[in-house]
Copies of this chain bind each other. A is one copy, B any other.
Amino acid sequence: MDSPRVANLAALLRALREGPLSRTQLATRCGITKAAVSGLVTELSERGLVRAAGVLTGGNGRPSQLVELCGASAHGLALSIEADRFAAVVVDLNGRVIAEEAESADVPALGLHRGMDELALLAKRVLPSDGSRPVGVTISVPGLVDSAAAVLRFAPTLRWRDAEIADLMAARLQLPADAIAVDNEANLGAIGESVAGAGVGVRELFYLSGGIGVGAGLISAGSVLRGARGFAGEVGHVAVDPNGDQCPCGRAGCLETKAGLAAVLRAAAPPGDLLHDPALGVDGRVALLRERVLRGDRRAATAVLELGVALGIALSTVVDVLDPDVVILGGYFAELGAWLVEPIRIELAARPLGTAARCRVEPSPLGTSAPLRGAAHLATERLFADPTLIPLVEASV
């Protein structure tokens, strides 16, 4: 898997992501001799991953045959588990979404095993039946993931503990367990943003994810910062208001007591208001809140402004410590981004030394789909690290 040949196959496959290239171009791009490139391209072709793609003319050389990625030859599957729904996305090797589906579910009530049954059924419904081969599966979960063991240690909103998600899904989809990765939704959101959102081309990125809790995903020097145990990004208990409400953690005024969805909804409308109706789901309640702010509802607008201030206080600590290029507001914060960016910028601008003011703050363009986007990327990424995951088939360039 780490052999030089595999590394060279992978380098060629990654180069072809950008578009068709000739063997000479591939050799130059990847620093591999042209003779070696020919053999490697033949192997990629025999694995069904590349094919001939017309002829390159012009320049001062002979016309040369182009090679392109067969995007449809294989796919990655992204799954997500949230407290109130399951979702699935299938992407091809070009990162194009070829199927997606979501369904509402009371996940804590289902429990781990029935929950995984439901999710596997959803996965089977979306998986392609056209000969495209599976590369990998990445499952997004709202909790602490021990990434080395692929175990969900704790997800408060699901009430799952020490859940061996990868093994449970591998058995249900009849895939090897190592084809299945499990990651925290905020880490995956950060990856989604860096691949296809507000973080494209950015090396230092802080993705803040609003939901029932508040989480964060960090990308530094282009890679996810996971920390020693994979638990990095826990921002829910950064202190933002010492005179604030008691937090279940034992302190007062933690970010989650101000920025968790329930707290914001409580601030935005009196008890009994439609805004608190669980039947609307998370998305429905956020949409209603947004609508009220747009309509000029004073209480809703104040709640969202206060949310922005709380986020700004927490983020100014984070930005001082990490100095990111950009802070991306994900999850439900993305929907309210228009009103959150300004109060956050004001807090950052008030920091000493004037450094935090240079950090961009942007709502996620991907919104709540960022984690699935990141999960889909990682699922196909396995192949771009090791093209020999896909067995040889009969075909040729």
Contacts and interface: CB of A to CB of B under 8 A. Distances in A.
Given A203-B228, A228-B325, A234-B355, 18 more contacts: A144-B353, A204-B227, A204-B228, A220-B220, A221-B221, A227-B323, A228-B359, A229-B355, A229-B358, A231-B323, A231-B355, A233-B323, A235-B320, A236-B320, A237-B316, A237-B352, A242-B242, A242-B243
Contact of A232 (B231, B243, B322): B322
Most B-side CB within 10 Å, residue of A221, A318, A352 = A352
Interface string A184-211: 0000000000000000000110000000
18 contacts: A220-B227, A221-B223, A221-B225, A227-B324, A228-B325, A229-B355, A229-B358, A232-B321, A234-B320, A234-B323, A234-B353, A234-B355, A235-B321, A237-B351, A239-B239, A239-B317, A242-B243, A318-B321
Contact of A154 (B227, B322, B353, B358): B353
A131 interface: no
A250 interface: yes
Interface string A231-261: 1111111110011000111100000000000
Contacts of A318: 321
A71 interface: no
Nearest to A321: B235
Nearest to A360: B228
A148 to B, nearest CB: 12
Nearest to A318: B321
Tell me whether chain A's interface is mostly helix, strand or loop, or mixed.
Answer: loop
Most B-side CB within 10 Å, residue of A144, A320, A351 = A320
A226 interface: yes
A365 interface: no
A249 B320 CA distance: 13
Given A237-B352, A352-B250, A230 B323 contact: yes
Most B-side CB within 10 Å, residue of A221, A223, A316, A321 = A321
A38 to B, nearest CB: 21
A144 B355 CA distance: 9
Closest 7 CB pairs of A and B: A227-B323, A242-B242, A249-B352, A234-B320, A228-B325, A232-B323, A231-B323
Nearest to A358: B229
Contacts of A228: 203-204, 323-325, 358-359
A203 to B, nearest CB: 7
A83 interface: no
Nearest to A232: B323
Interface in A141-195: 144, 154
A228 to B, nearest CB: 4
A216 interface: yes
A320 B238 contact: yes
